[in-house]
Amino acid sequence: MGEPRQHPADRTLEALGLSVAPREHPLVYPGAWPAESGLLDGDRLLPLTRRTFPGRVPVLAVGSNASPAQLRHKMRQYELSSPIPLVKARVTGLEIGVSAHVSALGYVSASPFRAPGHTRELFITWLDPAQLAAIDASEGVTRPSGAYDRVLLPSTGFRVEPEPSGPGELGGRPLDGVHLYVNRHGVLQDGTGTPREHPGERRLLTELLAESPGLRKLFGATPEEFCSRARGDLRLCAEGTRLFAREGRTTASGLEKYVRGQQTGSPGTGESLSPPWM
């Protein structure tokens, strides 16, 4: 995949400060993202000399799927060990919002919303069929009651440009066929109807709890209490999700029109994977 033959010890996730998974520590959500493109290979993040990978599916990561520790956790759950390229890219037309649902993993996750003309850096995960099916299952794509759909971004209105593969090189050509996970519940809005940006889990939960007595009644007064009560309690999380809607906190992401009926992984693979708590 373009990685060098020598793998120095300082490329471990622990040495790079990338080893903590939000699935194990919800308040660190979305987890630490790499400083540069790399190849996730087990417990290491190795250098890349390529930016595109024919035969794999490019999927934009807007939340914890850009965290190597979170990806490692998901791959281990499904007993997958093949490497995953993570490529930094300039993305126009999207911003990172707050999903309008409470996850039983103990956090309120990120979800994209349409932001015409806005440009920011995100990571592309290049997934093989088994990895794509696993991530689909982890996001609930394969379940009618799951939280996310996977959409194919059109080239009109969106632009995804991989970073150059070396010093002095021009930026990569825009990619076609890039996928993205979109929350089925919509996103939270900021009180004016504008989608709310995700500021990191601790700050987000502090703000949400301060704004909503109903949320405090369900989940407690602190981010720590919220995570503890939400984690593993599907009924409570569903009530929290309904509360977002009842309090008028939700809005459309602007990406719903791109959802189609066939966003599962490889045919015959996605449905066989059991999703975790959502």
pLDDT at 145: 86
C-alpha angle 185/192/242, rounded to 5°? 30
The 10s digit of each residue's pLDDT in 97-109 is 999 999 999 999 9
9-165+172-198+251-260: which CATH topology?
Hypothetical upf0131 protein ytfp (3.10.490)
DSSP E strands in 13-83: the ranges are 38-41, 44-46, 57-61
Q: Please say whether the beta carbons of 86 and 154 come within 8 A.
A: no
Q: What is the pLDDT along the chain (278 residues), one digit of tens a residue?
A: 654 444 556 899 999 999 999 999 999 999 999 999 999 999 999 999 899 999 999 999 999 999 999 999 999 999 999 999 999 999 999 999 999 999 999 999 999 999 999 999 999 999 999 999 999 999 999 898 899 999 999 989 999 999 987 655 545 689 999 999 999 999 999 999 999 999 999 999 999 999 999 999 999 999 999 999 999 999 999 999 999 999 999 999 999 999 875 444 433 333 334 444 44
Tens of pLDDT, residues 193-251: 999 999 999 999 999 999 999 999 999 999 999 999 999 999 999 999 999 999 999 99
Angstrom distance (rounded) from CA 65 to CA 111: 11
Closest among 5, 25, 1 to 227, alpha carbons compared:
25
